[in-house]
Amino acid sequence: MSSVNIKNVQKKFDEQVVLTRINLEVRDHEFLVLLGPSGCGKSTLLRMIAGLDNPSSGQIYIGGTDATRLPPKDRNIAMVFQNYALYPHLSVFENIAFPLRVRGEERAAIEKKVRWAAQIVEIERHLSRKPRQMSGGERQRTALARSLVREPAVFLLDEPLSNLDAKLRHTAREELRLFQERVGLTSVYVTHDQVEAMGLGQRIVVMDRGEIRQIGTPRDIYESPADTFVATFIGSPP
């Protein structure tokens, strides 16, 4: 079954078309990467999956139901942003627990879920720290744990590594890959970085100016780019 099914989605801002007839299926447990240059519509597409914005036309199905009119809180989807703001005055534990407290969950259940999420991202030893006592990578993982704890059906990540320096980005990418292998979440990951896409994606969706140019495994795309745009963008051999 597909977790997310995007059917003929078009998006306009005023009269400007920023996405044209997007058709895309996100399969259960896959790590799908949306790759394309800045301004091609990646974030807009992700925001519509999350319900933060609506298509101008077309449908988005989540777990088989038409989600076009479902508010974000009813979509069972977590979004990790570029600026994963943690609450500086709260401990790591409380940062992760926050979405569950908002939901009004029981103390014991919160404790259990926070420990589970912290263990997955390997920060269980730091739960009593404040964010400022953590490294950039650990703060990143705290933000991931805060999304994980809600047990979302789909995990959306919008260039989550772009604020890290090159060295940390490499480590974080590797961690994310291992994490994905271990947990097998259904994820849609946005990046404009082809190296990141090739390293992380099980399938890659190459976008340009509001259109999908190709969908395939990293190998498909590298070895058989659909057109010269894809070839140039990926850096495939001629």
Contacts with ligand ADP by CB under 6 A lie at 13, 18, 36, 38-44
DSSP code string of 33-51 = EEE--TTSSHHHHHHHHHT
Q: How far is the CB of 50 from ligand ADP (least distance, A)?
A: 13
* Beta-bridge mates of residue 155: 78, 187
Q: How far is the CB of 162 from Mg ion (least distance, A)?
A: 9
Q: How far is the CB of 197 from ligand ADP (least distance, A)?
A: 13
Nearer CB in complex with ligand ADP: 5/44: 44
Burial classification of residue 129, based on how many CB atoms lie within 10 Å of its CB (0-12 exposed, 13-18 middle, 19 or more buried):
middle
Contact between residue 123 and residue 136 where contact means Cβ atoms under 8 Å apart: no
Return d(Cα 120, Cα 98) in angstroms, integer.
18
- Tokens 């992760």 appear where? 96
Does 43 help bind Mg ion (rule: CB under 5 A)?
Answer: yes
Nearer CB in complex with ligand ADP: 38/83: 38
Nearer CB in complex with ligand ADP: 6/149: 6
Q: Which stretch, 28-36, 42-50, 60-68, 134-142, contacts Mg ion (CB under 5 A)?
A: 42-50
78: nearest Cα among 49, 110, 45, 117: 49
Q: How far is the CB of 53 from Mg ion (least distance, A)?
A: 13
Does 191 help bind Mg ion (rule: CB under 5 A)?
Answer: no
User: Residues touching Mg ion: how many (CB under 5 A)?
Assistant: 1
Nearer CB in complex with ligand ADP: 19/176: 19
Q: How far is the CB of 163 from ligand ADP (least distance, A)?
A: 15
Contact between residue 77 and residue 154 where contact means Cβ atoms under 8 Å apart: yes
Contact between residue 30 and residue 201 where contact means Cβ atoms under 8 Å apart: no
Instruction: Report CA-CA distances (Å) from 162 to 3, 165, 179.
Output: 26, 8, 18
Q: Which stretch, 39-47, 77-85, 161-169, 229-237, contacts Mg ion (CB under 5 A)?
A: 39-47
* Contacts with Mg ion, residue ranges (CB under 5 A): 43
